[in-house]
């Protein structure tokens, strides 16, 4: 049986469900926000000694052959638990239980949660990319105004988050990659609030989203230079407005992408590259749990099939 850990609003998992159903494969989708509606038991007669009872469905650890960690949501507690401290306690306990189950599936994952967490380290990604022979833009990570000003004295640069691209709140804000110019001492206090990535801007021909699943590589050219607002960050204008075309990566670049994913302990990775105006390829970053369904919708590349192939391969081990 294949387990899918996600939330009930995750449309990407719907693609996986449809493909598993098409193949008549045994699977269960666990929308983790619903866990408090069921019952969990963890024993110690081995790593597979655990069960989740969700309504009439009983999921046993011994039956799980592969697992996909997509977008688990925080467990939603009963409204009867009203006191803030008690709610925080229960959230923590359910989170701890999920970590236990995740760890017991360590050899069954497409990408394990632990590997995803470690792979999200962007400076680590850049170092590894350099070691594998990728071109990587000159980069500095800092919250020191002097270091930033020194870096910005060079060629054109962009700024982007080290980790979080969203600022939560009543009005959620997205932090896009943006060009950055001159800074002065008056900016020091604001700049010191959090570290950020400063990076040389690469003049683009197109942005490339490279989705790696096992040994398969799906490359898509995104026409980011078609609109001024998307030239630095193609997400700013909305993907529906930009051309998406299947791209034939050179064999050596494809192999570096495969090796990068494997070196990070992953079987899946969504890599952002730039194809520059001189025909060179530059590594920007990798999302170890990135979105891919819109790529399949726009280009017809069989990414969901490759993901289910990989899950079935894990199941057969």
What DSSP line would sit under 130-167, residue for residue?
A: HHTT-B---EEEE--HHHHHHHHTSS-EEEEESS--EE
**Whether 70 contacts 56, CB under 8 Å:** no
pTM of the predicted protein model: 0.94
CATH 3.40.50.1820 given to domain 118-135+203-300: no
pLDDT at 240: 61
CATH 3.30.470.20 placement within the chain: 118-135+203-300
pLDDT at 182: 82
pLDDT at 187: 85
pLDDT at 14: 97
Q: How many CA atoms does the CB half-sphere of 247 hold within 13 Å? A: 24
Per residue in 138-152, pLDDT (tens digit) is 999 999 999 999 999
SS3 316: coil
Element housing 271 (H / E) = strand 268-276
C-alpha angle 65/71/77, rounded to 5°? Answer: 100
pLDDT at 197: 97
**Whether 50 contacts 42, CB under 8 Å:** yes
pLDDT at 63: 97
- Strand duo 166-167 + 39-42: pairing: unpaired
Cα–Cα distance, 245 to 234 (Å, whole number):
14
Per residue in 1-21, pLDDT (tens digit) is 999 999 999 999 999 999 999
pLDDT at 266: 98
Identify the segments of the chain with pLDDT beneath 70. Answer: 238-240
pLDDT at 238: 62
Cα–Cα distance, 33 to 140 (Å, whole number):
38
Residues counted in the chain: 317
């Amino acid at each position: 049986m294949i387990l899918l850990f996600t939330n009930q609003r995750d449309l990407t998992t719907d693609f996986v469900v449809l493909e598993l159903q098409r193949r008549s494969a045994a699977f269960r989708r666990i929308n983790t926000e619903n866990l408090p509606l069921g019952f969990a038991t963890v024993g110690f007669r081995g790593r597979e000694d655990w069960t989740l009872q969700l309504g009439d469905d009983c999921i046993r650890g011994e039956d799980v052959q592969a697992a996909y960690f997509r977008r688990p949501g925080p467990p939603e507690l009963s409204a009867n638990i009203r006191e803030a401290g008690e709610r925080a306690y229960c959230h923590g306990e359910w989170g701890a239980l999920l970590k236990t189950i995740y760890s017991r599936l360590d050899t069954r994952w497409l990408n394990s949660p632990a590997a995803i967490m470690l792979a999200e380290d962007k400076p680590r990604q850049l170092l590894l990319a350099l070691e594998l022979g990728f071109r990587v833009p000159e980069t500095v990570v800092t919250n020191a105004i002097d270091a930033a000003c020194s870096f910005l004295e060079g060629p054109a640069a962009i700024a982007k988050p080290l980790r979080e691209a969203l600022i939560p709140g009543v009005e959620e804000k997205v932090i896009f990659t943006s060009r950055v110019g001159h800074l002065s001492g008056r900016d020091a206090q604001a700049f010191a609030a959090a570290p950020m990535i400063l990076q040389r801007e690469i003049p683009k021909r197109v942005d490339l989203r490279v989705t790696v699943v096992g040994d398969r590589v799906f490359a898509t050219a995104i026409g980011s230079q078609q609109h001024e607002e998307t030239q630095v960050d193609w997400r700013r204008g909305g993907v529906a407005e930009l051309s998406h075309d299947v791209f034939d990566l050179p064999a050596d670049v494809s192999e570096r992408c495969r090796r990068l994913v494997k070196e990070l302990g992953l079987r899946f990775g969504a890599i952002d590259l730039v194809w520059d105006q001189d025909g060179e390829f530059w590594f920007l970053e990798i999302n170890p749990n990135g979105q891919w369904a819109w790529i399949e919708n726009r280009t017809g590349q069989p990414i969901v099939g490759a993901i289910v192939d990989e899950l079935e391969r894990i199941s057969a081990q």
